Structure 1
Amino acid sequence: MRAGCFPVGALGWLRGALAALVLAAALTATLVPSPAFADDDENLVNPQQRPDSSFIYDTSIAALGSADAYYDNQTVQVVGEVIGDSIREGLDNRHKWITLAANEKDSTSTVSVSMTAEQAAKIDTYGKYGTTGTKLQVRGTFHLVCTEHEGLTDLHADIVTVVEKGKHHEDEFDVNAFVPGAIATALGLALMGVFYYLRERQR
């Protein structure tokens, strides 16, 4: 046998060993999770999670105002301004009703929200004339026709977060607001003077 040459049997054995190593490496990569995701709980799938609560639907109060059956009993998340006042729900004073108004300037939609008294205590200001109410982000279950509250369309809050505190607005004196009224008064007086002048000439 010349130097540098392998017997045919040894060459076949070497190829078989290399194939076995490649197969073992492939199986190891398949069975062992990647270190980047092995301890990441956020990537785990919970097979017991119900389909109707698998996702959080970021939506608007205006959309809920014209909602159809698609939104019924779904988990939704909305942001709005608290207006009006809180109303006690039941006799135990453990839950309260509040009203959330849409953030969009061109929308007047509102939604009634049922929340615990502890959640309602986060509200520092209720919106009214001259006052901007607390802005809340509310996550909960939307009911198109709530069986617990006599068919009312409402939102049962699970998580309530303050986005922005309320504030009061001082009325500012604006001189320009009186200009149209002053012009109208001056024209009225001028026309009245012309009327009396013409009437006196006809005598």
Structure 2
Amino acid sequence: MVNEFENEIRNEVFSDKLNNFFKKYKKVVILVSILIISIPVCLQSYLFFQNQKKQTLLSEYLKAEVMIDTNEDQENAIKILKKLAKENNDTISALSLGKLINYYLEKGDRKAVLEFIRSDKLNSNKEIFKEIKIIKEVILNFETLNEDEILNLLKVNNDNIFKIIKNKLLIDFYIKNKQFNKADQIKKQL
């Protein structure tokens, strides 16, 4: 009997404390509840719209690529690719620049190719894009470079993933210029 009475008192005290707490912090409790519900909803909405934007960019890129490959409205395709090259999406931007570079290489417009290679978009913070840019520039200017220029461009680091490609370019350069001893020295390093 006493136990039941004590339990009833404890339950009433707890209930009163809970009611007082809720009355005192009613706005905070409601605000926290709303935040707990709305933050995941907002985050999912944001991620959904980001994904939609990526899909739209990819769809535009594919449309432009097909237009170029089928010789259908190439001027419009070039406009689309130039617009996509300026996007903040590194993948779409790199794909667009690559397609533009290939297009102008096929057309024989070396000046436009060099413009795209030297563009700010290829000056990304990512080391791989810098290395690819250098290699493309060397290949494009291979016939006109002198030894100092090619050595300056192709600074070969032992820890670089492009070491073999850069060394092979140097070997080809030395063979082209009939400097077979230097080519052999580099071959031995491989």
Which category describes the TM-score, using the shorter chain as reference length? under 0.3
Flag the structure with larger Rg.
1
Higher relative contact order (CA 8 A, sep 6+): 1
* Greater share of strand: 1
TM-score (norm 1): 0.27
